[in-house]
Amino acid sequence: MPKLYHTELEEHNGEQEYSYDLLIYAKGEEEAWEITRDYARTFYGEDDCAGYETENNVFEFMCGCIIVEIKGLYETSKDMFIEHMLFRYSINSN
């Protein structure tokens, strides 16, 4: 049965920064890293659009105009992932 991993990507696109939280199903941590790195490398498409790794877990696209960085990979559960998303993306009046 696959394990669940939470990975965080950060995209630097000009002066803008965007973050992405992804849920990865994998047999183990090594496979989860492989899936995450493949996803980051092909963030803007495959073949001619694929990025190249400039340093560990940092990928450049369009001659460095766009950078996608893997910020982390953590084993998780569905409940923990949902809790993290609720905490991160909720707005309250307090």
Domain span at 44: 3-89
Residue identified by tokens 């790195």 is 37
Whether residue 13 lies inside any domain: the answer is: yes
Dist. CA 33–CA 56, nearest whole Å: 12
Whether residue 79 lies inside any domain: the answer is: yes
Whether residue 7 lies inside any domain: the answer is: yes
Whether residue 16 lies inside any domain: the answer is: yes
Dist. CA 42–CA 9, nearest whole Å: 13
Residues 72 and 84 sit within 8 Å (Cβ to Cβ): no
Whether residue 70 lies inside any domain: the answer is: yes
Whether residue 15 lies inside any domain: the answer is: yes
Tens of each residue's pLDDT in the chain, 94 residues? 899 999 999 999 989 999 999 999 999 999 999 999 999 998 887 766 677 778 889 999 888 889 999 999 999 999 999 999 998 888 876 6
Give the three-class secondary structure for 71.
Answer: strand
How many structural domains comprise the chain? 1
pTM of the model: 0.85
Whether residue 54 lies inside any domain: the answer is: yes
Whether residue 94 lies inside any domain: the answer is: no
